[in-house]
Amino acid sequence: MRGIDTKEKPASQRLQSASAETERAQWTRNMAFYWETSVFLVEDELFRAPRYQFINHSDTFKAMFTLPQAENTNVEGSSDDNPIRLQGISKLDFERLLQYMYPTYDITDNKSPWSRFSRSSRNIPPVLTRPLEDWISILKLSTIWFMTDIRNQVIPRIIERHLQIDVIERITLGRKYDLPALVTSGVTSLVNQDGGVSEDQAEALGWDTTLRIQWIRDKLLTDRLGRSYAFGESQVRSIAENIFQGEWSFSKLPKRNSISGSSEFTTGRQRAWN
């Protein structure tokens, strides 16, 4: 067996070591570009992402990442063996949120939409030209995690393309994620739909909601006196406020919160529905 080397290091080597430690003690971490990362487990897939956007945009994650940690502990999220487990979250939704928070692009590619020297429509960052499905994924998670700033950026992207969303999904999404304008849009489409709400739609909505929509339709048809035109959102909302009493989507809100307005709800808070 080899014995333990008990010889002292030469003085010159000790001085070099001390000098290196002194120099290292003077180094500082750049405030903008020294990123700590965490590992997340979503469904059966691991993600490693910088923490800073989570901390900046979500008090939930800020509290998690800034809690004092005991020394020499295996902190949750520090490795693949001990990830932060995000239960009930779709890995596709999470990936889309990460793509939004941490966009990647080739800065040397002059054809890239990110290039400052590119022309006209190519000057729009790709983060703003995402498919509608991406925006819906980002809406879901930004609402759940109270990422209010991100939610507020996403809402106009969804509202401007609301007619691309299935009418039932408009109502469902609007109710679940605090977007009354989507609920109003969906109900208005059903009120104007030839023959009213279909059987399949009624099954998806529930009979209570279906009957209320039919009451709105009957009321408007009666008032129209045989004239042929589509009912607008303001007409539907004026009647729905009474028929959907207690449902926040049809409470008396500023006109700017309609589809034609310039903004939507910014709180990001979930509400109870009857």
For residues 19 and 87, the model is more confident at: 87
- For the chain, the domain total comes to 1
Residue 28 lies in a domain: no
The pair of structure tokens assigned to 31 is 């405030």
For residues 54 and 12, the model is more confident at: 54
Of 5-9, 53-57, 176-180, 254-258, the one with minimum mean pLDDT is 254-258
Residue 236 lies in a domain: yes
Considering the entire predicted model, what is its pTM?
0.74
Residue 219 lies in a domain: yes
Its domain, for residue 246, covers 167-274
Residue 157 lies in a domain: no
The predicted structure's pLDDT at residue 257: 44
The pair of structure tokens assigned to 230 is 């589509």
Residue 218 lies in a domain: yes
The pair of structure tokens assigned to 229 is 């035109």
For residues 8 and 216, the model is more confident at: 216
The pair of structure tokens assigned to 256 is 């700017």
